[in-house]
Amino acid sequence: MKNSVFSQKIYSFLLAAYRWYLQTPERSLHEAYDAALKIQAIEDKHFNGNKIDIDSAMYSNSVMDYFESDLNKLLKIARMRLTEFRGSRWFLNEENQKAAQKAGIEYLSPSLVLEKLNYIDQVISKYTTSSDQTTSKALVVKPPIPVNSVISDDKSLLVKTPTLPPKIPNQDLNNKPRAKSKTDTTGVLPRSILSTISRLQVELDPNSEQEVIQSFRQTQKRTIISLRFILLLIIVPLLTHQIAKAFVVGPIIERFRSTQEMQIFLNSEMEEEALVELQRFEEKLKFENLIVKAPPLLPEQMETEMKNKAKELAEEFRHESSGAIKNVFADMFSVVAFIWLLLVSKSSIAVLKDFFDNIVYGLSDSAKAFIIILFTDIFVGFHSPHGWEVLLEGVSRHWGLPANRDFIFLFIATFPVILDTIFKYWIFRYLNRISPSAVATYRNMNE
């Protein structure tokens, strides 16, 4: 009876999931159309039917930021649902359509589908050129080394920074770099005089105050986006791991291990640990019996106590073994979530990269040298092998693997050396060119 009820529940669940799958194209198109309607409603109500212009002077900056966030959210929904609509229609075939008709699912007529798609394209097409600029807009300020633009590794992202003064640009990214002559390197006048003239120009410029305020707002936006993205990189994989372990992987593993006679220990280390614990329990019983000067335990009593402890240890290590198996699959879900977050957040990665660049450039030479020495001593220093050993043993226990001492010693003998070589090459190749004084301070502190 229970099996039949369980089978009916599974059948109803699968049927509902199949109906949801067949309705995916129509549902995706409806959500994309609804997002386009909301964008059109904002245009009609607040912008007289025109395009939502982020640089419009009709409203204050706070109001425009509010409209900008709504616009980006609706555009993202519309584009994602259109992609889902195309993908779902590609997977559906004639057999699926016949099954949908039998299940009582009625699709929209082709003319109505084309009408909705045409309307969505008309609304979204107005923001095809400016949508990327609104998401990866100028959210950075110049670092201590004056630059007019920062180009991320992704050539499709160009994040421009307003520099001061705007009248005297230091370099032009649109032109190809030319060979420097002696007049370019030395200059007719000393650099201090030129920088003083530039500073006076900034102070006398009537628009300098607005540019400083705009630069501060961009810095604030960049910081908020960077901190939010860092929190997402930490929270999303952890939540994915816990949710997958509790609701996806956990029930399957528990059901599989409870229905079949599975081994209690995943490796010999767990078995040895359980035997040591059982032996310690036996010695503890004998010791307590000698202290209280009670009559010695009978062999039957001793055997009963040992059996109870053995069952308790078996249940404990069975639970630990199940947890290790769950961790393996839950970690896979976490890695997939982390990679997906990186793929859909290219603009946030560019902003985060610039955020760290500005933090590094803003540090003093002694602070840079201190951080370099701290990280090198932790990862490749004299005491680092103990930390690597604890880390590798923790990872092995997390996945239920036996801690192979030969592999751990080989890893400690090779990986920190390779890491130290890469770090020294980075100091010699890049940091020595960007900040020679920081390298000199690092060498003096390290000596």
H helical segments located in 92-207 = 94-102, 110-124, 131-135, 182-186, 191-204
- Within 8 A by CB and 6+ apart from 427, the residues are 372, 439, 442
Nearest-angstrom CA–CA distance, 202 and 210: 11
Question: How far is C-alpha 35 from the geometric centre of its chain's CA atoms?
Answer: 27
Q: CA angle, 120 as apex, 118 and 122 as ends, to 5°?
A: 70
pLDDT digits (tens, 9 = 90+) for 11-52: 677 767 767 767 778 888 888 889 889 888 888 888 888 888
Name the DSSP letter for residue 36: H
pLDDT digits (tens, 9 = 90+) for 255-290: 777 655 567 777 778 888 888 988 998 888 888 877
With contact defined as beta carbons under 8 Å apart, do 420 and 376 qualify?
Answer: yes
pTM of the model: 0.51
With contact defined as beta carbons under 8 Å apart, do 356 and 371 qualify?
Answer: no
The torsion region of residue 298 among left (phi > 0), alpha (psi -120 to 50) and beta comes to: beta
Q: What is the pLDDT along the chain (447 residues), one digit of tens a residue?
A: 555 665 666 767 776 776 776 777 888 888 888 988 988 888 888 888 888 877 666 777 777 777 888 888 888 888 888 888 887 776 665 555 555 555 556 666 778 888 888 888 888 888 875 444 444 443 433 344 433 333 334 433 333 333 333 333 444 434 444 444 434 444 555 556 766 777 776 666 666 677 778 778 888 888 999 999 999 999 999 999 999 988 888 888 877 776 555 677 777 788 888 889 889 988 888 888 777 766 677 778 888 888 888 888 888 888 888 888 889 999 999 999 999 999 988 888 988 988 888 888 788 888 888 888 888 888 887 778 888 988 998 888 888 888 888 888 899 889 988 998 998 888 888 888 878 888 888 888 777
Q: What φ, ψ does residue 217 adopt, rounded to 5°?
A: -65, -40
Q: Distances from the Cα of 162 to the Cαs of 67, 152, 167, 265, 363, in angstroms?
A: 23, 16, 11, 62, 21
Question: How far is C-alpha 107 from the geometric centre of its chain's CA atoms?
Answer: 38
Name the DSSP letter for residue 244: I
- DSSP letter string, 143-165: -SS--SEEE-SSTT-EEE---S-
Domain residue limits, the chain: 2-135, 235-346, 363-447
